[in-house]
Structure 1
Amino acid sequence: MTRIVVPVALAAFLAGLSTARADDGYPTYARVDYVLGCMMSNGQGPDVMRKCSCSIDEIAAHFPYDSYVAMETARTLQDMPGERASLMRGVGWVKDLLDEFRQIQVAADLKCF
């Protein structure tokens, strides 16, 4: 019985994530993804989780979600091998967007960590 309840509860929870958005436009799944990545880099535990949550809250306060999506997409494309990905590496507005995000992220980490 427990084997059925847990996946159903998890599916219901994940279905709700797709529509949950904070007032700043960041959906819950984007915040969770950031926090999980942050925790993979900085360690596990409730203290690190609070610090990583603080960091994404600070980023969301200073960086619009649409820009965050563009930045994540550009960063993913830049990390890919090949000729097509190399086209993204030399684009000026992509570099500017990534630089702006890095500055905001550093400021957020300084405040939260």
Structure 2
Amino acid sequence: MTRTVAPVALLALLAGFGTARAEEGYPTYARVDYVLGCMVSNGQGPDVVRKCSCSIDEIAAHFPYDSYVAMETARSMQDAPGERASLMRDVGWIKDLLNEFRQVQVAADLKCF
């Protein structure tokens, strides 16, 4: 069942359930990646595709794509094991950036879910 849901989700996004807005600068692959990750956390089906698409649209309305990439990079670096990752966990501006992202993501989820 999982193998058929991902292509269905991708087709739904490309068909217009979660159309990429060029003026926000988020490439389609970034939106699809977010939606697929969101579906892993929230379940599968067309309704979840719409909700997850709404969520990334809300995030895109608040953050330019470059900031989103910076946040994703910082988050993945913080999640990595080892001493280098611990250095990233202690940087104040990164904490602030990730806290702001989490707040926007929660607000988006409240609106969309």
- 1:97 Cα offset (Å): 0.5
Corresponding position of 1:11: none
Partner SS state of residue 96, structure 1:
helix
Give aligned pairs, total: 94
- In structure 2, runs of 5+ residues without a counterpart are 1-19
Query: 2:22 & 2:39 partners in 1: Cα distance?
Result: 21
Instruction: Tell me the TM-score normalised to structure 2 length.
Output: 0.81
Q: Which runs of 4+ in 1 moved over 3 A?
A: none
Query: 1:61 & 1:21 partners in 2: Cα distance?
Result: 10
Percent of pairs identical after alignment?
Answer: 88
Instruction: Tell me the TM-score normalised to structure 1 length.
Output: 0.81
- What is the letter of the counterpart of residue 91 of structure 1? V
Deviations 1:63-105 (A, max 9, x none): 1111100000000000000001111000011001000100100
Query: 2:25 & 2:49 partners in 1: Cα distance?
Result: 21
- In structure 1, runs of 5+ residues without a counterpart are 1-19
Corresponding position of 2:55: 55
Query: 1:106 & 1:22 partners in 2: Cα distance?
Result: 24
